């Protein structure tokens, strides 16, 4: 089963790899504006109109024109402004907590809901009075059923 999944997903991964590589090698201002924060208003560059955000946009345009990669431009911005300039936390050290904590919370919530439903389904009390046993008919009712069956057979 795992092999079938890998075989099915491999063409998709190979098809998207050139696009990701091209985005790294030839970034656009629009791509980077959503990934870089404005240091004065603490929003992404695509939402900011402050003078500092405009200077950062000019810097990014100049670096793109010079042929820098996406990661190179980000590295230079981090060197100038610090790691808070990036919209996403880093994928190492303490920043990993920001990536994994929401996933762990969702999994814990899913586990709690699953356990609660399982527990509820096991301990539920029956609704209404218990039905009488199937073989215990009142004698009068049993006689009437026998009479009706005999009439239908005749």
Query: What is the domain range of residue 40?
Result: 27-96
* Domain total of the chain: 1
Angle 53-72-34 from CA coordinates, rounded to 5°: 40
Whether residue 82 lies inside any domain: the answer is yes
Nearest 10 degrees: Cα torsion 121, 124, 130, 131: -10
Q: What is the pLDDT of residues 64-91, one digit of tens each?
A: 999 999 989 999 999 998 888 888 877 7
Provide DSSP, 15-62. HHHHHHHHHHHS--HHHHHTTBB-TTT-SBGGG--SHHHHHHHHHHHH
Query: Is 51 inside a domain boundary?
Result: yes
- Contact indicator for 29, 60 with CB cutoff of 8 Å: yes
For residue 98, pLDDT beyond 50: yes
pTM: 0.50
Q: Please check whether residue 47 lies inside any domain of the structure.
A: yes
Predicted confidence band of residue 17 (pLDDT cuts 50, 70, 90): very low
Q: What CATH number corresponds to the domain at position 88?
A: 1.10.8.640
Residue 120 lies in a domain: no
């Amino acid at each position: 089963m795992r092999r079938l999944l890998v075989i099915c997903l491999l063409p998709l991964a190979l098809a998207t790899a050139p696009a990701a590589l091209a985005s790294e090698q030839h970034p656009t201002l629009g791509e980077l504006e959503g990934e870089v924060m404005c240091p004065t208003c603490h929003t992404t560059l695509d939402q900011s109109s402050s003078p500092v955000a405009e200077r950062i946009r000019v810097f990014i345009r100049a670096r793109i024109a010079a042929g820098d990669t996406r990661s190179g431009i980000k590295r230079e911005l981090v060197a100038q402004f610090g790691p808070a300039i990036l919209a996403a936390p880093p994928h190492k050290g303490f920043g990993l907590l920001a990536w994994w904590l929401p996933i762990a919370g969702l999994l814990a919530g899913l586990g709690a809901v699953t356990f609660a439903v399982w527990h509820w389904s096991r301990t539920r009390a029956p609704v209404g009075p218990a039905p009488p046993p199937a073989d215990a008919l009142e004698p009068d009712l049993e006689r009437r059923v026998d009479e009706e069956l005999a009439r239908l057979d005749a």
